[in-house]
Chain A
Amino acid sequence: MSAAEEVVTEAPAVEAVPKRAMTLGYGTSLVVLAALVIIPLLVKNFIIFQMTMLLIYALAVLALNILTGGSGQFSLGQSAFYAVGAYTSAILMEHAGMNYALTLPIAGIICFGFGFLFGQPALRLSGVYLALATFALATAMPQLLKLGYFEHWTGGVQGLVVTKPDAPFGLPMSQDMWLYYFTLVVSIGIYIASVNLLRSRSGRAFMAIRDNEIAASAMGVDVALYKTLAFGVSAGITGVAGGLGAIAVQFVAPDGYTIQLAISLFLGMVVGGVGWLPGSIVGSAFIIFVPNIAEGISKGLSGAVFGVLLFLVIFLVPHGARQVAIVAQQLIAKLKKN
Chain B
Amino acid sequence: MTAARQLLTALASALVMIAATCNVAMAQKAYDTGAGDSEIRIGNIMPYSGPASAYGVIGRIEAAYFKMLNEHGGIHGRKVSFVSYDDGYSPAKTVEQARKLVESDNVLLIFNSLGTSTNAAIRKYMNEKQVPQLFVASGSSKWNDPKDYPWTMGWQPSYQDEARVYAKYIIKHKPDAKIAVLYQNDDFGKDYLKGLKAAFADKAVMIVAEEAYETSEPTIDNRIVKLKASGADTFISITTPKFAAQAIKKAAEIAWTPLQILTNVSASVGGVMQPAGFENSQGVISAAYLKDAADPQWDKDPGMQKFLIFLKTQYPEGNRLDAATVFGYAAAQTMAKVLEMCGDDLTHANVMKQAASLKDFAPDTLLPGITINTSPTDFAPIKQLQLMRFRGEKWELFGEIMSGGLGH
Q: A residues near B, CB below 8 A?
A: 44-47, 49-50, 53, 139, 143, 146, 156-159, 161, 245, 249-251, 253-256, 258, 260-261, 288, 291, 295, 299-300, 302-303
Contacts and interface: CB of A to CB of B under 8 A. Distances in A.
Nearest to A53: B96
A255 to B, nearest CB: 5
A296 to B, nearest CB: 10
A304 to B, nearest CB: 10
A253 B186 contact: no
B87 to A, nearest CB: 10
B117 A146 contact: no
B268 interface: no
Contact of B121 (A46, A143, A251, A303): A251
Given A146-B185, A161-B120, A46 B90 contact: no
A167 B50 CA distance: 36
A134 to B, nearest CB: 17
Contact of B190 (A45, A156, A261, A299): A156
B91 A249 contact: yes
Secondary structure class of chain A's binding surface, majority of residues: helix
Interface stretch (B1-9, B24-32, B97-105): B97-105
Nearest to B86: A295
Contacts of B91: 159, 249, 251, 253, 255-256
Given A158-B117, A256-B92, 14 more contacts: A53-B92, A157-B117, A158-B116, A159-B91, A161-B120, A249-B95, A249-B121, A253-B121, A255-B89, A258-B90, A295-B85, A299-B84, A302-B86, A303-B49
B29 to A, nearest CB: 27
Nearest to A256: B91
B186 A249 contact: no
A250 B49 CA distance: 23
Nearest to A254: B117
Contact of A300 (B48, B121, B191): B48
A302 B96 CA distance: 17
B187 A260 contact: no
Contacts of A156: 190
26 contacts: A45-B99, A46-B103, A46-B104, A146-B186, A158-B116, A158-B120, A158-B142, A158-B187, A158-B191, A159-B117, A159-B121, A249-B95, A250-B121, A250-B124, A253-B91, A253-B117, A253-B120, A255-B89, A256-B90, A256-B117, A260-B90, A295-B48, A299-B84, A299-B86, A302-B48, A302-B49
Interface in B58-111: 60, 84-86, 88-92, 95-96, 99-100, 102-104
Interface residues of B, number: 36
Contacts of A50: 96
A168 to B, nearest CB: 19
Interface of B: 48-50, 60, 84-86, 88-92, 95-96, 99-100, 102-104, 116-118, 120-125, 142, 185-187, 190-191, 214, 216
B117 A249 contact: no
A299 B48 contact: yes
A250 B186 contact: no
Contacts of A44: 103-104
> Which 6 interchain pairs have the tightest Cβ spacing?
A46-B103, A157-B187, A251-B121, A253-B117, A256-B91, A46-B99
A45 B100 CA distance: 10
A46 B98 CA distance: 10
B296 to A, nearest CB: 31
B92 A159 contact: no
A299 B214 CA distance: 30
B388 to A, nearest CB: 28
A49 B124 contact: no
- Among the interface residues A44, A49, A250, which one has the most CB atoms of the partner chain B within 10 A? A250
A250 B117 contact: no
Contact of B92 (A245, A300, A303): A245
Nearest to A156: B190
B90 A157 contact: no
B117 A255 contact: yes
B146 to A, nearest CB: 18
Contacts of A161: 120, 123-124
Contacts of B214: 143
A291 B123 CA distance: 24
- Among the interface residues B120, B124, B214, which one has the most CB atoms of the partner chain A within 10 A? B120
Contacts of A288: 96
A156 B95 CA distance: 20
B190 to A, nearest CB: 5
B124 to A, nearest CB: 5
